[in-house]
Structure 1
Amino acid sequence: MKLFLFELGRFIYPDAPKPIPVPGYLIQTKNGKNILVDTGFPEQYITNPPLSEGVTVAVNQEDFIVNRLAEIGLKPTDIDLVVLSHLDYDHAGNLLPFGHAEVIIQRLQYETAKVGHPRFLSTKDQWNDDSIKFRLIDGDQEIGAGIKLIESSGHVPGHQSIVLKLPETGPVLLTVDAVLNSSMTDGDNRPLDVSAVDDAQARISTKKLMKIAKEENVQLIIIGHDSEQWEKLEKAPSYSR
């Protein structure tokens, strides 16, 4: 099994010392299946980024998920499965290129979006398209040998993180937005997550993930949007195995 890391854009805050990375991931299984985790900002943000006070969204041409996949020799049709951590615009902006693949999402997140939660309207053209083949799951679920999805609500209802067991690196935890940066790994003492729908639930999920990390002897925790850690990680075309 291999794990590729992609940078799919970045947030730039005037009071932050460094840009905040937006990661995506590709898991290649032992039997050659390609599992994409999240799809990044909508393609149109390359030339027409959203205007939001206090933050700049920066997406280059190479950050578009289709172009990142091309860097490792893959086309959208090579993707067998898409795992969506959640439907925020930096994670679910490009589902339509993968309309042939099954998309796994927590039922709670999907139903929260379907009833009209305003947070997910910016990606509605992607997740509400009839061509998307969703598999709705409830709670923690193994989706393949050594790959388990972990329900980790709080940032949004029905957020999910991923634990995978690489043959050489060992177990790896992708927290995605359940843990945004390294200051938030302590569920009891983490700072307020102003982007969380339910910060109290986010703290519970943080404790759940850190407990799993300890029990599973996780060797690498890749945190959702941590600038300092991201600089030190090898990105595609390099990979961990």
Structure 2
Amino acid sequence: MRVRYLKCGTDCPLGGPLFDGFSKSLFGLIPCAAQLVETNEGLVLIDTGYGSEDVRHPHPRLSRFFRTLLNIHFRAEETALHQIKAMGYSPSDVRHVVLTHLDFDHAGGLDDFPNARVHVMEAEREAAERKRRGFIAERRYRPAQWEQVRDWRTYAGSGECWFGLERVRQLDGLPPEILMVPLPGHTWGHAGIAIRSDDGWVLNAGDAYFYRRELDGDRRRCTPGLRLYQNLMEVDRELRFANQQRLRELKRERSGEVTIFCSHDEIELEAMQRRNGDTSTTRAMPPIGQGVATGLSGA
């Protein structure tokens, strides 16, 4: 399988390096990362970022609160739909969309792929559709983004062990090299997505963390802006911190077998693009560990 790493939207919050850790201007650079997986059964999209309808009609699809807080820059050329077409594919070639969670910046492109089967944790769909109460919940979950979805596949908490992470499971109709890894805390049904490619496992940790230094074992840290944002968005701090610690241990103990990246770190995204052979990125890249394939059940 080939995995491509896409930027499907850009947030530019006021604060610059207080958010991303490197900007020289007043505004930060926070990407919405997604993956496109080419399989024998068609394309699989991991998260969608912002979609074409978000670009055309940001209001009322997205809340004024988050549009202002994040200073979202809507660009049609950054949508997954535009990028997939530019690769020579049709939207109908996307057979599956796998979501880390249903936040507005991860699920905005669902209606760009109306024929796709959408995979998400059962707890996440429940929270988004039936427990959408409170200031943050009403604004993070935007039903207009997924009201056209007709083919849902949801998953409860059962599963197997994968590199010490529990309740990991395969997905209906997808190759066994794509796994859903529950990592709740940011939302009730938040999950990471693990993919085994030719050079090993890659774990898309979604919003389990936001900043690359959060997984450092010795002097882990996060920028002030992203720390505040994570606190604002979390539903269970104890769960979130516990899962960050599990990811920290995974990185320390299995760095030669599993590469981890998150949804909103520009440096990590560029590193994954460079690792994938995209020479268009120019920023200096941090080292990326190489992987060795393995599977479920006690790996």
Determine the structure 2 residue equivalent to 1:184: 214
**How big is the shift at 1:57?**
0.2
2:183 maps to 1:164: no
Q: Secondary structure at the match of 2:119?
A: strand
The answer for unaligned runs of 5 or more in structure 2 is: 17-22, 158-167, 280-290, 292-299
After TM superposition, where is structure 1 displaced by more than 6 Å over at least 4 residues in a row?
none
Determine the structure 2 residue equivalent to 1:231: 270
Determine the structure 1 residue equivalent to 2:286: none
Q: Secondary structure at the match of 1:10?
A: strand
- Among 240, 243, 247, which residue is 1:209 paired with? 247
1:163-199 C-alpha deviation (Å, 9 max, x unpaired): 11111x2111111111211132259966542232222
Determine the structure 1 residue equivalent to 2:162: none
Q: TM-score, normalised by structure 1?
A: 0.86
2:156 maps to 1:128: no
| Cα-Cα RMSD | 2.9
2:66 maps to 1:36: no
Q: TM-score, normalised by structure 2?
A: 0.70
Distance of 2:255 and 2:272 partners within structure 1? 21
Q: Which one has a bigger Cα radius of gyration?
A: 2
Determine the structure 1 residue equivalent to 2:12: 12
Structure-2 change in CA distance of 1:41 and 1:99 (3 Å): same
The answer on whether the counterparts of 1:171 and 1:216 sit within 8 Å (CA) in structure 2 is no
**How big is the shift at 1:200?**
1.8
2:2 maps to 1:2: yes
Structure-2 change in CA distance of 1:90 and 1:83 (3 Å): same
Distance of 1:47 and 1:232 partners within structure 2? 30
Identity %: 24
**How big is the shift at 1:161?**
0.5
The answer to which structure has the higher strand fraction is 1
- Among 159, 171, 174, which residue is 2:204 paired with? 174
**How big is the shift at 1:5?**
0.8
Distance of 1:224 and 1:126 partners within structure 2? 19
The answer on whether the counterparts of 1:4 and 1:238 sit within 8 Å (CA) in structure 2 is no
Aligned residue pairs total 238
The answer on whether the counterparts of 1:89 and 1:120 sit within 8 Å (CA) in structure 2 is no
Determine the structure 1 residue equivalent to 2:236: 198
The answer on whether the counterparts of 2:10 and 2:30 sit within 8 Å (CA) in structure 1 is yes
Please list, as runs of the form range in 1=range in 2, the aligned pairs for 1:46-65 lying within 5 A after superposition.
46-49=55-58, 51-52=64-65, 53-65=68-80
